[in-house]
Amino acid sequence: MSQKDKLPNRRQKILDFIQDFMQDNGIPPTVRDIQKACEISSTSVVDYNLRLLDRDGFLNRRPEMARGIELLGASGTHGANTLKVPIVGSIAAGSPIPVFPNEMDSQNADFDFIEISSEVNRKYGTVFALEVKGTSMIDALIDDGDVVLVQPTPNVEQGEMAVAWIADREEATLKKFYVEGDKVRLQPANSAMGPIYCQAKNVEVRGKVVGVIRKY
């Protein structure tokens, strides 16, 4: 059935663009973004091609939702290059909750595992997964119950999504991270919620989000 992985030009271009776009912006493009970028005369062509890419397992589309594209791994390479990552705990996207998993006491509990493309591993090294609680990152298309892939690192760029540990509250939270002078702004991606301001020394970055996996 499915042939060699020689995608038609247009499909490959669309796939590449989505990949780039998500890297640059952290969110998937709209159909019309793709249309412009790939010089396609109509959104239906984009839709048509996305449908095929969906069918062939290059991406998932979330119906009834804007920007509902999820890229699946293994574009170009052979499929089945996946590896399992433990979901080591949950992270609050709402108000902070005082649980943050110790990555290493993962042995005794029976964790859920989630399969990701091994490209992620190649790119970011070891990552771990956290289940998201709350909806404060909904505008970044991270919903309650979704799983984020986190690269353990203390370094995040301005505006990147980070797992932040607020020392004096002993709470961890998932927010967009901005340094503003000697303060840190933890910004939810949800227009209904306001940012949290903290002293920079009071905030410790535990890792940054490098991927999102949606769950049903």
> From the CA atom positions of the chain, what is the Rg in Å?
18
Instruction: Using the minimum distance from each CB to DNA, give the nearer residue, 4 or 122.
Output: 4
Letters for 15-44 (x = contact with DNA by CB under 7 A, - = none) are ---------------xxx-------xxxxx
Check residue 49 for interaction with DNA (CB under 7 A): yes
Helices 43-55, 9-25: axis angle to 10 degrees equals 90
Check residue 183 for interaction with DNA (CB under 7 A): no
Report which of 91, 90, 94, 74 is spatially closest to residue 82, judged by C-alpha positions. Answer: 74
**Count of positions on this chain that bind DNA (CB under 7 A):** 24
Separation CA 161–CA 135 (nearest Å)? 14
Check residue 149 for interaction with DNA (CB under 7 A): no
Is residue 138 within 8 A of residue 189, CB to CB? The reply is yes
Separation CA 110–CA 87 (nearest Å)? 10
Instruction: Using the minimum distance from each CB to DNA, give the nearer residue, 54 or 204.
Output: 54
What angle is formed at CA 23 by the lines to CA 20 and CA 24, rounded to 5 degrees? Answer: 85
Instruction: Using the minimum distance from each CB to DNA, give the nearer residue, 63 or 181.
Output: 63
Check residue 8 for interaction with DNA (CB under 7 A): yes
Check residue 74 for interaction with DNA (CB under 7 A): no
**Interface positions with DNA (CB under 7 A):** 8, 10, 30-32, 40-50, 52, 61, 63-68
